[in-house]
Amino acid sequence: MPWQQLLSPQARLPVVGLEAWYASLLERIGNPAPLQLALLGGRLAATPGLAFLAGYQGALRALWPSAPWTLGALCVTENRSTRPADMHMRMQALSLDGRKDFVTAADAADWLLVAAREEAVGAPVQLALGVVRNGAPGVRVETLPALPLMPDVSHGRLHLHGAQCERLPGDGWDAYVKPFRTLEDIHVLAALTAWLFGVGQESAWPQALQLRLLGLLAGCAEVARQCPSAPGSHLMLAGLFAQFESCSAELDSAFASGDAHWAQLWQRDKGLLSMAATARSKRLQKAQALLGIHL
Q: pLDDT for 132-165, tens place per residue?
A: 999 999 999 999 999 999 999 999 999 999 999 9
- Domain end among 111, 145, 167: 167
Q: Does 83 lie in the same domain as 19?
A: no
Q: pLDDT for 271-282, tens place per residue?
A: 998 888 888 998
CATH number of the domain enclosing 150:
2.40.110.10
Question: 189 near 241, Cβ under 8 Å?
Answer: yes
Task: Please tell me the total count of domains within the chain.
Answer: 2
**Rounded to the nearest 5 degrees, what angle is found at the Cα of 115, between the Cα atoms of 290 and 145?**
110
- Domain end among 167, 193, 216: 167
Q: Does residue 4 register a pLDDT over 80?
A: yes
Q: Does 181 lie in the same domain as 286?
A: yes
Q: Does 194 lie in the same domain as 52?
A: yes
Q: pLDDT for 94-114, tens place per residue?
A: 999 999 999 999 999 999 999
Q: Does 218 lie in the same domain as 160?
A: no
Q: Does 44 lie in the same domain as 188?
A: yes
Question: 190 near 55, Cβ under 8 Å?
Answer: yes
Question: 141 near 155, Cβ under 8 Å?
Answer: no
- The model carries a pTM of 0.96
Q: Does 239 lie in the same domain as 179?
A: yes
Domain of residue 149, residue span: 72-167
Tell me what the mean pLDDT of segment 49-70 comes to.
97
Q: Does 182 lie in the same domain as 58?
A: yes
Q: pLDDT for 161-202, tens place per residue?
A: 999 999 999 999 999 999 999 999 999 999 999 999 999 999
**Band (293; pLDDT cuts 50, 70, 90):** confident
Q: Does residue 2 register a pLDDT over 80?
A: no
Nearest to 86 by CA among 56, 127, 49: 127
- Domain end among 151, 167, 183: 167
Q: Does 180 lie in the same domain as 59?
A: yes
Question: Percent of the chain scored above 90 by pLDDT?
Answer: 88
Q: Does 99 lie in the same domain as 152?
A: yes
Q: Does 148 lie in the same domain as 189?
A: no
Q: Does 155 lie in the same domain as 187?
A: no
Q: Does 278 lie in the same domain as 188?
A: yes
Q: Could you tell me the sign of the dihedral formed by the alpha carbons of 185, 102, 96, 165, in that order? A: negative
